[in-house]
Structure 1
Amino acid sequence: MTIRTPRLVLRPVRPEDDLPAMHRIMRQPRAMAYWSTPPHANEDETREWLANMADIPAALGEDFIVELEDRVIGKAGFYRFPDLGYLFDPDVWGQGLAREAVEAVVARGFAVHRLPRVQADVDPRNKASIRLLERLGFVETHRQARTWLVGEEWCDSVYFALTPEAWDQRTA
């Protein structure tokens, strides 16, 4: 399944083809600052991550590689329904591309997969991601301390949720 937006193509992962571009993103401390793992030290880590992405059972999730003008710029989707996740190359931050991709994934989640809600877990220091979710109509449900051990640092979480009703109201 491929999703096309005005500027982007969201497509299934091709692990070996996508390895160089995704490793370039995932080895960057800036890109991975609020991710659930430290930056990838080598291509084997990224290869395993991409293989896991490719192996998501269709009934359990749907994750996409995001391309801009035939260049891989990140990923967006559901590793497991209804948990939303996205990661983009810092070179494209601030251009509205994450919003465009995430909006398409959420719309598909509600329309095709009939999800009763979409939820996201965000590091509270990630102000840009929080703003993105809020712009899409997500509301904060709760916070929790020390939810992710990333390297040797405990990170906190802010949880967000969006219902189909709130989505429809937002897009009406």
Structure 2
Amino acid sequence: MSSPPTDTVIRTPRLVLRRVRPAEDFAGMHGVLSDPQAMAYWSTPPHESEQQTRDWLAAMAATTPGEGDDFILEYRGRAVGKAGFYRFPDIGYIIDPALWGQGLVAEALVPIITRAFDLHGQDRIAADVDPRNAASIRLLGKLGFAETHRAQNTWLIAGEWCDSIYFALTRQDWIARTA
């Protein structure tokens, strides 16, 4: 398993996936992270202050190559979301609601998942999804993730308990799917 270069850039037909640039990415990511619709199923409430977003971006920038592989999603020259691994093996993603339903997250996740298996030597990727997030559940199914189990009261977000559906994708299943 090798460490990825810190300047990794992945280009897809519509996106540039790149490492976070906290100052440059602040406006776009604060727009997403402070949006109640975007954050409806996230593990924290919408950001109430610019400092929360600055801290979030700093934490993303501080992720070391061995612990995760996380990318800013750049669309038409601006930061519109993130996708990847803050910590292996847990995958996560968020995108501006104005771009929902266009297949951009799936487009981003294919090379990110491939990197996790091929470059980082992961044998299994996991995802934790709020059961109310039907779009994310459909997306994971399309990518070959299988539900492993469910749990109640897994996240306390803004005083409300939320449940989780756990999904997994193995290296073998990914190879079979993409062969």
Deviation at residue 142 of structure 1 after TM alignment: 0.3
Corresponding position of 1:72: 79
| Pick aligned residue for 2:110 from 83, 103, 113 | 103
Identity, % of aligned pairs? 59
1:108-144: CA deviation from partner (whole Å, max 9, x where unpaired) = 1111111011110000000000000000000000000
Correspondence 1:21 to 2:48: no
**Deviation of 1:9 (Å):** 0.6
Q: Residue type matched to 2:109 in 1?
A: V
C-alpha separation in 1, matches of 2:75 and 2:28: 12
Distance in 2, matches of 1:158 and 1:90, equals: 22
SS at match of 1:30: coil
Could you say which residue in structure 1 is the equivalent of 2:176?
169
- Structure 2 SS opposite 1:66: strand
Query: In structure 1, how many angstroms separate the alpha carbons of the residues matched to 2:36 and 2:96?
Result: 11
Distance 1:104 1:35 in 2: 23
| Match in the other structure for 2:67 | 60
Gap runs ≥5 in structure 2:
1-7
Task: Say whether residues 1:132 and 2:139 are aligned partners.
Answer: yes
Q: Over aligned residue pairs, what C-alpha RMSD do you find?
A: 0.7
Which structure 1 residue ranges, 4+ long, deviate > 4 Å from structure 2?
none
Give the corresponding residue for 2:54: 47
8 Å contact kept, 2:86–2:92:
yes
Deviates more, 1:82-91 or 1:99-108: 99-108
Q: How many residues align?
A: 172
The whole-number CA distance in structure 2 between the counterparts of 1:65 and 1:7 is 13
Secondary structure in 2 matching 1:41: coil
